[in-house]
Amino acid sequence: MTVTETTDLEALANRAGLELEDATASEILAWTHERFGPAWCVTSSMEDAVVAHLASRVAPGVDVVFLDTGYHFPETIGTRDAVAAVYDVNVITVHPDLTVLEQDAEYGAALHDRDPDACCAMRKVAPLERSLTNYRAWATGLRRDDSPSRANTPVVSWDARRRKVKVAPIARWTQDDVDAYVAEYGVLTNPLLMDGYASIGCAPCTRRVAPGEDARAGRWAGNGKTECGIHT
Ligand code: SF4
């Protein structure tokens, strides 16, 4: 059943967050597809294709939104292209209003070093919000073990800022669960994961992590920033 304009999405999301807490990732995505039909998407950073793969199995042809900030590693763009070629999904690449050169001209070079919040707001958050206007729900690869700030991530919740249902089908998964799923299905992953990177974002704001270091320690290292603003 497709959710209509008049349905109380917030109540639906909050109820589903409780009822689906123990459901599998596939069951959570099946619930999403059943409720929202074509009006939901997956967002992917192209660190891996786990959620895109899971979604393609319950909703062939599902939209997978990728935010191309203009600062991605070539390996990330290559992973996006491979996902589009291999899986039964519809990859949608979303761009910021300004190219990197236009942003440099207007705000000065390397804004990411001087004001990463402003850079993320223009290159990630605004494009995401523009793209989500087409949907009622969005699914992400957030996991509770990503970081302390994500430890209480519900499997389904109400994204009050965007007035959308937010779905985190692998919220309860551990890195071992991800690794096992990738191995079982041969899921596409970003080659940088084999090169010392544990969490992959824009090249200027991502570094390798040392053995034993927190996976997200390589993101915006040294400036205290932990989230780009998409999930806050
Ligand atoms: S991660 Fe860095 S380069 Fe990418 S949008 Fe944010 S501040 Fe800019």
Cβ of 120 less than 6 Å from ligand 1? yes
pLDDT of the residue at 92 = 98
Q: How far is 136 from 129, CA to CA, in rounded Å?
A: 12
The mean pLDDT value for 124-137 works out to: 96
User: How far does CA 66 lie from the centroid of its chain?
Assistant: 8
Give the model's confidence band at 4: pLDDT under 50 very low, under 70 low, under 90 confident, else very high: low
pLDDT of the residue at 231 = 85
Nearest CA, atom 5, ligand 1: 120
The mean pLDDT value for 128-148 works out to: 95
pLDDT of the residue at 1 = 43
Nearest atom in ligand 1 to 122's CA: 5
Which has the minimum average pLDDT: 27-36, 46-55, 59-68, 142-151? 142-151
Instruction: Identify which of 76, 103, 120, 125 to mutate to test ligand 1's pocket (most ligand atoms within 8 A of the CB).
Output: 120
User: How far does CA 211 lie from the centroid of its chain?
Assistant: 24
Q: What's the one-letter identity of residue 17? A: G
CA of 202 to the centre of ligand 1 (A): 6
Instruction: Identify which of 97, 111, 112 to mutate to test ligand 1's pocket (most ligand atoms within 8 A of the CB).
Output: 112
Cβ of 204 less than 6 Å from ligand 1? yes
Cβ of 55 less than 6 Å from ligand 1? no
Cβ of 201 less than 6 Å from ligand 1? yes
Nearest CA, atom 6, ligand 1: 120
Chain-wide mean pLDDT for the chain? 94
Give the model's confidence band at 161: pLDDT under 50 very low, under 70 low, under 90 confident, else very high: very high
2 pLDDT higher than 60: no
pLDDT of the residue at 7 = 63
Which has the minimum average pLDDT: 11-20, 165-174, 220-229? 220-229
17 pLDDT higher than 90: yes
The enclosing H or E element of 165 equals strand 164-167
Beta bridge partners of 89: 62
Higher pLDDT, 103 or 210: 103
CA–CA distance from 167 to each of 79, 149, 153, 230 (Å)?
A: 23, 17, 10, 13
Catalytic residues: 228
pLDDT of the residue at 222 = 72
Q: How far is 13 from 25, CA to CA, in rounded Å?
A: 16
* Six token digits for residue 97: 């209003």
Give the model's confidence band at 5: pLDDT under 50 very low, under 70 low, under 90 confident, else very high: low
Whether 46 and 83 have beta carbons less than 8 Å apart is answered as yes
Instruction: Identify which of 67, 119, 199 to mutate to test ligand 1's pocket (most ligand atoms within 8 A of the CB).
Output: 119
6 pLDDT higher than 60: no
